[in-house]
Amino acid sequence: MRTIVCIKQVPETNEVKIDSENNSLIREKSNMAINPVDMYALEEAIQLSRVSGGSSTAMSMGIPEVSELLRNAIGLGIDEAVLLSDIAFAGADTLATAYALSMGIKKLGDYDLIICGRNSADGDTGQVGPSLAEKLGIPHITCVNRIIETESDYIRCSRLSENGYEIVEMSLPGLITVVKGINEPRLPSLARMMKARKADIPILTARDIDADIKLCGFTGSPTKVVSTHIPLKETNIEMFTGSEEEQAQLLIERLNRLL
């Protein structure tokens, strides 16, 4: 079974910078990390390829420095990685991202299963996985919390629903998005990480993947971010004074007002 995992780079901390021109996040080399739920997607792919004896590929779209995160994926046990990087991809919304990824995946050739994290820690739309499946014309299952069975032509999964969970079977090739808790992501081994640091990560441009640049990046994005702001954290502390009884009375009054 050949598995492809799509991963995204997200800021490692909450101290994000925003581009005032297009209101999107400024992604710099420093403080970047693999989107947390994508770590579960990587782990699932590693486990699947070990069980089925197949191979796994990690793919991401971003600035060239994202290669470092793809190296981390190889350090974890992914067999190979590919980066889509081109100025034409900049400022992509979820649709343009799904388009670019779909073209990249087509370029890689045959595959059986694509695994994505359910959502990203920054944008949190949860749209790229399903959009990617639609672009590729394959079925998908979202919010998978357990893979029950896989064969060469189908997969049976448990997916979280609003009322509990559902058991869903899907033909392959297909795409699943996974949720936190589906497995316990491993840490990289030193030997693998040392190999990964020397690994060649191919960088594919829009031309390399035969992408229509009108459908890529900011130009190909029908949605526009009107504004982005960092939530203000306001903590108002009011100190009660007086005797213990008086302070208790004040607290009761305040709590009553909230009820």
**Residue 189 interacting with other proteins (CB under 8 A):** yes
Q: What angle do CA 38, 40, 43 make, to 5 degrees?
A: 115
**CB closer to other proteins, 139 vs 188:** 188
Q: Does 192 bind other proteins (CB under 8 A)?
A: yes
Q: How far is CA 2 from each of CA 23, 99, 172, 224, 230, rounded to the nearest angstrom?
A: 37, 21, 11, 35, 40
CA-CA distance, 99 to 63, in Å (whole number)? 17
Q: Which of 170, 256, 238, 233 is nearest to 14 (CA)?
A: 233
Pick from 197, 207, 214, 224: which binds other proteins (CB under 8 A)? 197
Among 13, 109, 187, 227, binds other proteins (CB under 8 A): 187
- By CB under 8 A, tell whether 126 contacts other proteins: no
2 touches 109 (CB < 8 A): no
Q: Is 239 in the site for other proteins (CB under 8 A)?
A: no
Other Cβ atoms less than 10 A from the Cβ of 160: the count is 17
To other proteins, the closest distance from the beta carbon of 184 in angstroms equals 10
Piece of 152-160, 186-194, 200-208, 243-251 that binds other proteins (CB under 8 A): 186-194
Q: Which of 61, 150, 63 is nearest to 102 (CA)?
A: 61
Q: Closest approach of Cβ 39 to other proteins, in Å?
A: 12
> Is 255 near other proteins (CB under 8 A)?
no
Stretch of 5-13, 98-106, 159-167, 184-192 lying at the interface with other proteins (CB under 8 A) = 184-192
* Interaction of residue 258 with other proteins, rule CB under 8 A: no
Judged by the rule CB under 8 A, the positions of this chain that interact with other proteins are 187-194, 197
